[in-house]
Structure 1
Amino acid sequence: MNAVVAENTPVQAASNERGLLRFITAGSVDDGKSTLIGRLLFDSKGIFADQLDSISRAKHKRTVGDTIDLSLLTDGLEAEREQGITIDVAYRYFATPKRKFIIADTPGHEQYTRNMVTGASTADAVIILVDVSKVKLGDDGSVELLTQTKRHSTIAHLLRIEHVIVAVNKMDLVNYDRTVYDRIIGEYQKFAQQLGLTDVHAIPLSALAGDNVVERGDNMPWYEGPTLIELLETLSVYDDAHEEPFRFPVQLVARHGGHLAEDFRGYMGRIEAGKVTKGDKLVVQPSGLTATVKDIVTFDGSLETARAGQSVTILLEEYVDISRGDMLAAAEQPATVLKNVEAAVCWLSEEPLNMRRKYWLKHTTRQVNARVNKIEFRLDINTQERVPAETLKLNDIAQVSLTVQQPLAADAYDAIRATGSFILIDEVTHQTVAAGMIRLG
């Protein structure tokens, strides 16, 4: 399958799929991510008058004259405005008549890749911005993409973000030259195929001038595809978690005080996948005990059925030993109980991995001691080759083998994100040092 969708190919979506779309912007430093989001908000009338007035008077404005610096809509930290870079993840909400959106503006600087991973973990789509002025175009026809473009694309693939939009930005700097755009997209297409991305859309634009963001403009008549906002409005969003087997990590065990005559023991938490109905047979993991659903309780009363995304209290017919960190799962399709974990990880700490140290592994509501036994390989971002490694440094992506002190009830990340992901925590500093995606089979 061709990795890049043709520009004039319409993106179809069923009307009932046009719900909330979460997307992020990613790319290298100063590719125009914050400006692009500001342009989206400005042109779609998603800015309040007081916000517009505030950024018009900002002292760190980087535009000339009365021109509004749209990047200041998301770069709100003083350090961000002083340095002209995005440091933290900024979330913005806006809506069009066709759809609601939550945008995460993520940092482009390599030092803040960990923040990009955080924003990407819940995204349905990612906009990979490519600054046309930074791509090296050789006289021999060669094209060299930036390392951060490749790194963010790799992370998007690891996190299984459904839609990837490659936005070739600052086309005004090359006089809207179609040849330059085609060469860049051709090179990205080769990388996307090598990486395994299958749903990629390409758009040439100028976030500063507004070309092909919300309005089409007259500068690129050769481009016949949708504008960015038109594409975002039509991307399909469907939560597979509703179709997966039931998964319910227990957050809290709720009981009445001992002075009450009626007995009440409920298990509180959020349904991460599937659905549950009164009378369903469940298995408690990792213990393997079975039980039957007696009632599903919410603040508004009892439910006959509850689904993924709902926070509920589940009552069981049987008295079984269940604590925080245990998982209630569908008896006919339980999770896999693991003592040895194979996972892809992104190292987020400036302190390298120490194979002799123990870390805490936080998986759903369960936290256990863990040790990294082996680094299977480290991924070379530029070539996508698997190379041997003795340790992992900041932003390294690798496949590792871990041993956990207590068993985990988990799924493959490819199947269920919530029960297939984890973080590693330094037990001394309590800092998050890695994000992991579990691999099974």
Structure 2
Amino acid sequence: MKKIKLGLLPQILIAIGLGIAAGTVSPALPVRIFVTFNALFSQFLNFIIPLIIVGLVTPAIADIGKGAGKMLVATVLLAYSATLFSGFLSFGVGETFFPSLITQNIPLSEISEAKGVEPFFTISIPEPLNVMTALVMAFTVGLGLAHLDTGFLKNVCNDFKEIIVKTIQAVILPLLPIYIFGIFFNMTHSGQVFHVLAVFVKIIGIIFLMHIFLLIFQYCIAGLLVRKNPFRLLGTMMPAYFTALGTQSSAATIPVTLKQTIRNGVHEGIAGFVIPLCATIHLSGSTLKIVACALALMMMQNIPYGFQMFAGFIFMLGVTMVAAPGVPGGAIMASLGILSSMLGFDENAQALMIALYIAMDSFGTACNVTGDGALALIIDKWFGTPKA
């Protein structure tokens, strides 16, 4: 008899469903076991993410050849433009619909955040490089290799790429469903998400609809350029969407995003360059969510705001969050400085932003990584088949 082999998407959906179902009835001990596993796996992910960036981006730039510099500039500008568009979309929609949905003068002290279960123990695995250092290193070495005739260092980079790919296939992908199960198991058991979401359910509904609109818009643009059905392209990226929904990390979802992007017809070399890069610099979903949440809180507290204030905030947000991916909730932590300096958020407002953002982190991250596939299609259309 043939073995029934479930694909990654069914595994993820089953993991999410089981996590929510088990979390409503389970005692604390099983939750703590999975929380401990997730803490260890998260440490490994934090360790491997910079190596994934170096291992995939460096040979991708080298294989593209002398056009790598132009492709890098084009990808950065496209990602930043997409991030800005999402920020201004969020502000416009929020200013139009939020006033009729928000109850003003709600004391921030009324909204509390439930605490999750602590792991039995944790093991710290220091990152060999931080994300920005890994990116700069990959760009520097890759662009250098693209202009060198020697093949020795390029072969070393290709061998390192094979090690990273084997690690992804043999370790990360098989353990991802267990990791996702543990996240939803803990979140449901502790009531952490529902405690915060109950206060903002209408706002969250609008944010979710904006995420869906943004993805459809991005894939309509990409589909128009590559002359393919945008909804079929978007459907192919659903495993990446649901993986990000569980991991809450763009960088941790890179392997799945890369695989599905190639299935959409993007050349492997270009996908290997664009996807790891966009996991760090393309933050449309996160920007949309932070702008909407900040605007909602300012309306709730009757804090004065205006278009010019938010325009400056959105432009700075797109730059500030570049160093954020890799850690779930990293975008909101990176944005706290400009929330304080540009929008005047005090400690209570910042704490609520963190709670609200983390509660919805999955949807913003899923929007980010799924949109990466649309940007890769556009870059692939512009630059064509990479040259060895």
TM superposition score normalised by structure 1 = 0.21
Q: Of the two structures, which has the highest relative contact order with CA contacts closer than 8 Å and spacing of 6 or more? A: 2
Larger radius of gyration: 1
TM superposition score normalised by structure 2 = 0.23
Task: Report which of the two has the higher share of strand.
Answer: 1
Task: Report which of the two has the higher share of helix.
Answer: 2
